[in-house]
Amino acid sequence: MIVTKGLHIGYKSSIAEVQDIKLDAGVYILIGKNGSGKSTLLKTIAGQLDSIQGAIEINGKEIKSIRKSNLPKLISFVGSKFPDVDFLNVVDYIALGRSPHNDFFGRKTARDAEVIDQAIDTLQIQDLKNRFTSQLSDGERQLAAIARALTQETSIIILDEPTAFLDYLNKKIVLENLIKISAKFNKCILLSSHDIDLSIDAQRPFLVVRKDTNTIELLAAETSKNTIISIAF
């Protein structure tokens, strides 16, 4: 689903080189020091930033050949900050994920309602539907944001620090839900995290930013905690 070739990421100049990787359906966890390029990598793969060099293929197509308006049908992106919007209830917030599939007037269809209900059921957040987003806890906001991404019906979901600011129980709930979603809907999910222990427990493949060379490489799920720490930190 995601393939990189000779990829260098950054803004005006390269800050990290990505080893050639191929990510199929499954959950992948991106690990690295602050400022090492994790968010830059995620935004580049999501098409929000141009690469400095090299290529990214999304479902077999070079990302630069895909129209920007079509990217939200292929990739869902969940940022690290939840938008502060007063008087927006959860079900309407989740419904925003259907925008790429709606017509010019944003009219909702029976299919939209079905997908929204399915996302709410998958995340088991029926009790949040009619609450305002401003009333949610951090953990509830993350679940709502993931539900919104799920309604986009993309094969790829990218999340920037989805467990940041959450307590351990909510971190665990969010990660378990992502693993369940990937398996149930055959999605490629890539997320960044600082939670080494939780990530190790999840037994998923890692993308790690090497501290000495600032290269990003794919490591097997069985990689030990000590090895990951020695490489990244």
Question: pLDDT exceeding 70 applies to what percent of the chain?
Answer: 99
Confidence of residue 105 (pLDDT cuts 50, 70, 90): low
Q: What is the CATH number of the domain that holds 197?
A: 3.40.50.300
Provide the sign of the torsion angle of the four alpha carbons 101, 103, 106, 107, taken in this order: negative
Q: Identify the band that residue 114 occupies on the pLDDT scale cut at 50, 70 and 90.
A: very high
Question: What number of other Cβ atoms are within 10 A of residue 31's Cβ?
Answer: 25
Q: What tens digit of pLDDT does each residue of 4-50 get?
A: 999 999 999 999 999 999 999 999 999 999 999 999 999 999 999 99
- In a domain? residue 9: yes
CB burial of 68-94 (b: ≥16 within 10 Å; e: otherwise) equals eeebbebbbbbbeebeeeeeebbbebb
CA distance 128 to 125: 5
Query: Is position 42 within any domain?
Result: yes
Question: Quick check: is 92 in a domain?
Answer: no
- With a CB cutoff of 8 Å and minimum separation 6, the contacts of 30 are 38, 41, 42, 190, 191, 192, 193, 206, 207, 208, 209, 216
Q: Is residue 105 part of a domain?
A: no
* Counted domains in the chain: 1
Q: Residue 81's pLDDT is what?
A: 84
Could you tell me if residue 143 is inside a domain?
Answer: no
Does 68 score more than 70 pLDDT? yes
pLDDT number for residue 83? 80
The domain in which residue 169 lies consists of 2-86+155-232
On whether residue 12 sits in a domain, the answer given is yes
User: pTM for the full model?
Assistant: 0.95
Q: Is residue 45 part of a domain?
A: yes
Average pLDDT over residues 210-221: 96
Q: Is residue 114 part of a domain?
A: no
pLDDT of 119 above 80:
yes
Distance separating alpha carbons of residues 229 and 232, to the nearest angstrom: 5
